[in-house]
Amino acid sequence: MKEFVLIFRSSSNGHAAPTPEQLQERVNWLASIAAQNKLADKGKALSAKLAKTVKPDGIITDGPYTEIKEFINGFVFVRTETIEEAIVFAQSNPILKAGGNVEVRAILTPGEKDQ
């Protein structure tokens, strides 16, 4: 099994709290992955308010990635045989219904080369 991180991005208000229905949909999505014993780590939600970006030459800006029009909302780690299986999980994430997207990236182990 290989581990992949699913990174949730949204171009809408990164400060907005989800509705109870959206929250339940997210919980159900996560529970479906856990039920298959494919959840490696449930990850965390990331703050959009308490965030800074540190750049070279001592430059510090407010917020996460203010130059791009997306917020990184959170992440989870899944354990699958292939990236295609991880993509299937990403395709069923509720953030897609709200116009967001999910980045799927393999987690490299120490000494493993990126392919």
How many domains is the chain partitioned into structurally?
Answer: 1
CA 39 to chain centre: 13
* pLDDT band (50, 70, 90) for residue 59: confident
Per the domain annotation, does 80 fall within a domain? Answer: yes
Per the domain annotation, does 113 fall within a domain? Answer: no
Instruction: Tell me the pLDDT tens digit for each residue of 82-107.
Output: 999 999 999 999 988 888 889 999 99
CB 14 within 8 A of CB 68: no
CATH code, 51: 3.30.70.1060
Query: The domain containing residue 47 runs over which residues?
Result: 2-106
Name the pTM for this structure: 0.79
Average pLDDT on 1-30 reads 83
Which of the listed ranges 15-19, 81-85, 110-114 does the model predict with the highest average pLDDT?
A: 81-85
Nearest Cα residue to 82 out of 1, 25, 5:
1
